[in-house]
Each structure stands twice: as structure tokens, then as C-alpha cells.
Chain A
Amino acid sequence: MHEVTVCDSLLDLAEETARKHNASCIKSIKIRVGEISGVVPELLQHAFDICSKERTMTNRARLIIQRVKPKALCKQCGTEFSPDDFVFICPGCGSPDTKLLQGDELVLDKLELEVEDV
């Protein structure tokens, strides 16, 4: 259950960014969660529902989670493939020498802010 820690970090980062933009509140927080990031989106949402209410900047904010499927690249033959069931062996040439292109990310993508007229 490290989702609470991840959620706190997300709220800190969102709040800090919103302040830099002179926002009065955050309307929505859009994030990307890789399917092999180790974070369970449902648990993160649950943590968000509780933790976001404790901060005035985020207490009306909506969390939008975009899940990202893992994609890998074979360093030997250049085949791009989906490492289903965490098998990171290239389906093209059988090499295990592969690089993860996406799927382990935890990224704050966009914020929708309410900014008061100056």
C-alpha cells in the first residue's frame, strides 16, 4: 500500500505547480500510470479520494488516470513488442536483451486550474 505515499507526492507536486501559476484551485489532475509501475490505479484513486479532501487547493479536484501498457524494444534485432505477462524475451529473435520503452511511468501529465483574474 505505497499508493498513499505516491498520492501525497502527487498532491504536493500538483499544489506546488498550481501555486506557481497563481491558481486558486485545481479542477482536475491528469496522470499516466504504467501497468508495471507497481502502482494499482484503483488503490491510488482510493487514496486520492481521501487525501485530496484534506487540502483546500485539491478538495474539489478530479483525478484522471490514463493507464499505459508496457512496450519494449529488442536491442538485438530492433523488434518492438508488448511484454505480456512480464516476459521480456524478444518474440522476433528470442533475445532477452531488451529495453522497456514505456509502462513503468508515474507521471503528472496535465493540470486544469482555476486562475483568478488579476
Chain B
Amino acid sequence: MHFEFNIEGGDFSKAGFASSQLKKILKQLVGDHKIVKRTVVALYEAEVNVVAHAYSGKVLIDIDTDKIIIKVKDKGPGIEDIQLAMQEGYSTASEKVREMGFGAGMGLSNIKNNSDDFKIESEVGVGTKLTIIANLKTE
């Protein structure tokens, strides 16, 4: 099943919309609530990243009986040094964003920790694309 959501850069009031929708969907489909939680947390972090850093973004979700594939693509500044950005605590978030309680530099590593497979591609000046995969164990 395929779902799509848009994310608007800078609009923190709506950050979390896609992850909340995903949660509703997964709770109706998946029995293992730990997988549901992990996946939703990963998407929430990715959403906040787009809102905090990019101009706009798109969430593409594909759910199958064996896995959930989430792609988060944004138009934005891109990431210069991905390895550095993946480090816990490293952040380029603006003062304004930090004042709102975001941008602690845990986002990307948290996404990775909450997914079974994680891929990040970025082009400076163009944007960033994350792929988050959750494997569904067959019960």
C-alpha cells in the first residue's frame, strides 16, 4: 500500500502529521507494537529534520506484508559531510530552532537506531533523501 504526505519547511506546528498518520495506519495493520513505535519515531525525527532544515519535503510510504519502506525526500541545503551529521550531538540547527526544543543533534542517529535498514543520500544545494526500512517478522 502506498501513502504520500507533504512537509512544509519551517512549519513546526505541523511537524509530526505524517508520523501520526503512519501510526494510525500501522496500528490497524501490524500486530507487533514495538515495530510500529520504532517506525513512527524514525519518521517523526525525519519530519522534524525537513521542517528544521529544508524548504519542503515529501514522505513516500510503501507497506507490504514483509516490510515498510519510507522515503523522505526534501528540497533544501543538503548535507555537506554526512558522516559528521550522523554523529550524535552534532547539529547545524539554528538558534531559533534550538530554542523550540529541536536540533539537539540526535535526529539522524535516532532514525538509524529505529530502523532495520537506513540509507542517506544528499546533494549540497539540492536536497536530502532518506530511506528507512522496517522489516516485519512473520509471526
Same complex for A and B? Answer no
